Chain A
């Protein structure tokens, strides 16, 4: 089963508001990834974080790799209707067996125009 706890499970916000979601794990990961999934599509990579404490931005998106390597958060500023979708965190533990991702349960974001 999944090892990542993602919260909140869903959010319904007004256009223009900022959004924050986070992910915690019982295990350490070397890399944290944040994906967005639209209906009928596969997840699309938004931001990748490669070391503890790293803070990375991609346009209106900002994500941080927690210093304990067991958590990460994603912020979206000034939300717009096209931000609607499901956001997943994923942890990656690089090893010789391959780069298997462990996903959180997702945060469903709904934006009211």
Chain B
């Protein structure tokens, strides 16, 4: 597509429930990133995919968080047993790896605003 698409744009869930957040990157972008942005703060890195594999998942806060990218395109961020502290905007970004990524930075989606009540 023309840009990075994230769905849903808003998600309200009850504490303890399971949620899935979807990211559809720009066609041809091999690198995909998930970031989390809490209110009044800058985005914080969660996980980076190069193709189908998670090249760096050091930002995932705990084992309730998991992400997949089975075909190297669409990615799903999965959160189990949600807690109120998980409430944030989850941003996805994609980029061309290598030269493209360095010269032009990422392209971010509009994010999914997750509210855990």
Contact = CB atoms under 8 A, between A and B. Distances in A.
B42 A42 contact: no
B41 A2 contact: yes
Interface size class on chain B is: 20 to 34
A5 to B, nearest CB: 11
Given A42-B108, A97-B48, A102-B45, 17 more contacts: A1-B44, A6-B42, A40-B111, A43-B43, A43-B91, A44-B108, A48-B103, A98-B55, A99-B106, A100-B48, A100-B59, A101-B35, A101-B43, A101-B45, A101-B105, A103-B43, A103-B44
Contacts of A2: 41-42, 44
Interface string B75-117: 0000000000000000101010100011111111111000000
Interface of B: 4, 31, 33, 35, 40-45, 48, 50, 55-56, 59, 91, 93, 95, 97, 101-111
A40 B91 CA distance: 11
5 contacts: A1-B44, A2-B42, A33-B105, A48-B104, A92-B102
